[in-house]
Each structure stands twice: as C-alpha cells, then as structure tokens.
Amino acid sequence: MKLADKVAIITGGGRGIGQAAAMEFVREGAAVIISDIAEHDEVNDTLSQIEVLGGKGMFVQTDVGDEPQVISLVNHTVETYGKVDILINCAGASDPAMLTNMTLDKWFKVINSHLTGSFLCTREVARHMKGQNHGTIIFVSSIAGSEGTIGQCNYGAAKGGMLGLMKSCAKELARYDINVNAVCPGVVKTTMTETIRGDEKFREATLNRILMGKFGTVETIAPMFRYLASDEGHYIHGQVINIDGGMFGL
C-alpha cells in the first residue's frame, strides 16, 4: 500500500472529486478525515464505503471559510491520529451569474469557500507539517482558474487565486520537505457541471473543445492525488497539473 499509515484531511470529501480521493486513499492504507460543510447523505455513504473496506475514516463538519472551525478541524485530526501527512483542498461552492448581475454575496460565497478556505486549511496544516518536516498539500483548482469562464467570474477568480496561493506556498514550504501542487480538472461528471452537461447546446460546445471528445470522471482525477501524496510523486513540486482530456493548453 502506497499510503500506509498516512493521515489525510480532504475538504469537500463527502462528494464528487473529494469523495473519489478519499476512497482512493483508503484503498492505499491512509486514514482519511472528511471535512464538509454539512453531514449530508453522501458523507454517510462515503463513511459506509470506508467501513466496508476496513479503512479508517471520520467526518468533521467544517465551514472552511471560518477560521475557528478550520483550526478545530486540524487540531482534532492531530489529537486523534498524532499527525497530518496530507491535505487536499477540495471544498468549494458554485453560485453563477453574469458579471453585471454578480452580487457581493455571490462573490464572497465562492471566494471564501475556495480561496479563503484553502488558505486557512493550508496555513493550519503547514504549522504541523513544518514540525514533522514532511507532508503533501494539493490544491484542487480548475482550468477555469487559468482561462476564465463565462458566467462565473467569482469561480474563475477563486480558482486562479488558488494557483497563486499554491505557488507561494510551494516556495515557502519546500525547505520543510512539504510538496505542494495544484490539480486542475477539466469538465468532470459531478453535480457542479450538471448545467453544462444537461444543456444540449452547452454540452456540444464543450465537448468540441475537448480533444478526447468526452467528459472526465472523478475516477480519472483521484489517482493523481494518490501519486502526488506517495513517495513516488514527492519530488513533484510547485506544479499545475491539468487533467482535462486536452481541453486547455494545447
């Protein structure tokens, strides 16, 4: 097992890409702490799947944009397992609107969940990892952070900000043997992309931009997290890794 005895915090780990990452890590021997803003059915389903596999997992309800809750999440993890080896910043909300209709409430809802949440979680986890002199931090950004997106300037700004945050953290934390990277999924079959995939016009226009001609799945993203968190991938540092079927950058 490539992640035996590792302890991983996965924000947004109850559904979608975060859930797939949690299951990937459990299969490789890691204990996972699933953080989500609410204890919904998918969280309980994830915990049930972990139990079936004989793995270790627990849920800590957390609003990642709330500083005291993030501090509590990380402290509870360290108190329970004695350490934290891996952080995946995957939590985030979507609240689309065209630029001229974008309200501050919509703006800050998305910025706080993706960008501020990633900052707070990374800061608190890094404080423990520096003492361990080892660790892995992965930001789940998006191709929208590099190329922007129509109707979601809040989302594009948040995901782009995560890339800048990742690179700054990578420069600060390398000396402590903490590898820091960002994974940028393309259009993946999750609830967040249902609007695009469910509208025939949007669906065809989007598929025409993907060289491989198909949408990604959470199972196509999660193995990269495992690799980056393993000893094999530890020398990869400060990189933005697109997993998008050839949608961006070619």
Q: What is the pLDDT of residues 216-237, one digit of tens each?
A: 899 999 999 999 999 999 999 9
Give catalytic status of residue 155 as yes or no: yes
Q: What is the pLDDT of residues 191-223, one digit of tens each?
A: 776 666 777 777 787 888 889 989 889 999 999
Q: Residue 6 is inside which H or E element, if any?
A: none
Q: Are 104 and 51 in contact (CB under 8 A)?
A: no
Strands (DSSP E) contained in the chain are: 7-11, 31-36, 57-61, 86-89, 135-140, 178-185, 240-243
> What pLDDT, on the 0 to 100 scale, is given for residue 201?
79
pTM here is 0.94
Query: Helix 153-173 to helix 104-111 angle, to the nearest 10 degrees?
Result: 30
Kindly report the average pLDDT of the chain as a whole number.
94
Q: What is the pLDDT of residues 111-149, one digit of tens each?
A: 999 999 999 999 999 999 999 999 999 999 998 898 898
> Which residue is catalytic, options 81, 155, 227, 235?
155
> Could you tell me which of 122, 130, 25 has the C-alpha nearest to residue 73?
122
Q: 176 pairs with which residues across the strands? A: none
CA–CA gap between residue 61 and residue 1 (Å, rounded): 28
Return the residue matching tokens 């991938």.
233
CA distances from 203 to 81, 115, 198 (A): 44, 28, 7
- Exposure string of 100-130, with b = 16+ CB inside 10 Å and e = fewer, is eebeeebbebbbbbbbbbbbbbbebbbebbb
Q: Report the CATH fold assignment for 7-189+217-241.
A: Rossmann fold (3.40.50)
